Each structure stands twice: as C-alpha cells, then as structure tokens.
C-alpha cells in the first residue's frame, strides 16, 4: 500500500508535491473500489423518509464515491425519471497577498440536474442487486452442491453423481 510517514522530528515539509501524492493515493483507492463494485449505484439500502424523499446514503457516480445527501425528488410521483446529480461546494481562503482563491472543493450527490454528471434515479442500481448477482454466480461453490467438469463419457460417471 502506498503511504507517507509523517513521524519525523524537525518539522515535516508540507509542499504541494506531497499534497498531490496524498490526493492521488485517495483517488487510486476510490477508482479501485469503483472498478470492483461498478459505477452508478447506491452502496447502502435506500431509506425512504417520506414519498419522494430519500435519506442520506453513499453513491458511486462517474467513478467517484460520494455522499448522497437527503433530498426530495422533483417529481415524487415518478421516481425513476428524476435525476441524481453531482454538486460542488467551493470554499475560498485568503492568502498572504490578500487575494482570495478557491482552495477546497467538496462534491456530493442529491436529487437534481447537474452540469458535472447526472443519472436518472431509475437507472441507478442498488448494491444489494450486485450482491444478489454475485451470490447466484458463486452458488455452485457453496457446500452441499457443486459443479464438476467431466471429461469422460457419460456412462463413466460414478453412481450417486448426476
């Protein structure tokens, strides 16, 4: 695993290249998880707060793991046609030269359209669906039943095997 050792005496040199390395470590882990689980899906079971209102969750959208904040669908009567979009919240800071610059970008998802990325709610998959599909594929390896490849004539199958 990539890591950075901050435990040194004499002060740690926090330079931009080190900060870029920290960010890339997080991005790599995020991309690996998205590749394993798949994109455009909720990671926890959905909690319906009231009609058209979905509670906080985690979601993978466009290769990112994001917080889905509790929000209300634009059309609660037709949930599948509502959009879930990525939103950015920018925080600025004042620098020594008294200029103000964008420093922190926080991204999250909620109901609504987005110029960054959006997906119809009905097209999003639940992680439970992925687990169900995986369990069906792997069921042949569960004790009590299994699949054996046989490369001999059918009449040579031992008694008790089918």
Per residue in 115-151, pLDDT (tens digit) is: 999 999 998 876 655 565 666 666 666 666 566 677 8
In a domain, 23, yes or no: no
In a domain, 50, yes or no: yes
User: CB–CB of 77/121 below 8 Å?
Assistant: no
In a domain, 12, yes or no: no
The total number of structural domains that make up the chain: 1
pLDDT at 9: 77
> At residue 29, what are phi and psi to the nearest 5 degrees?
-65, -40
CA dist., res. 31 & res. 63, Å (int): 6
Kindly give the parts of the chain with pLDDT less than 70. Answer: 1-2, 126-148, 162
In a domain, 57, yes or no: yes
Helix (H, G, I), strand (E, B) or coil at 32: helix
In a domain, 60, yes or no: yes
Partnered with residue 92 across adjacent β-strands are: 102
In a domain, 1, yes or no: no
pTM given for the model: 0.65
Parent domain of 46: 38-125
pLDDT at 31: 77
In a domain, 134, yes or no: no
């Amino acid at each position: 695993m990539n890591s950075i050792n901050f435990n040194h005496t004499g002060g740690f040199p926090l330079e931009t290249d080190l900060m870029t390395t920290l960010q890339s470590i997080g991005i790599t882990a995020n991309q690996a998880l998205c590749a394993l689980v798949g994109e455009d899906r909720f990671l926890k079971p959905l909690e319906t707060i009231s009609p058209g209102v979905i509670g906080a969750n985690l979601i993978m959208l466009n290769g990112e793991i994001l917080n889905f904040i509790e929000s209300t669908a634009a059309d609660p009567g037709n949930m599948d046609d509502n959009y879930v979009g990525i939103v950015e919240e920018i925080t600025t800071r004042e620098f020594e030269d008294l200029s103000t610059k964008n420093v922190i970008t926080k991204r999250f998802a909620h109901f609504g359209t987005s110029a960054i990325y959006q997906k119809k709610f009905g097209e999003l998959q639940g992680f439970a669906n992925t687990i169900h599909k995986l369990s069906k594929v792997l069921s042949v390896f569960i004790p009590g039943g299994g699949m054996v490849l046989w490369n001999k004539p059918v009449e040579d199958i031992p008694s008790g095997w089918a």
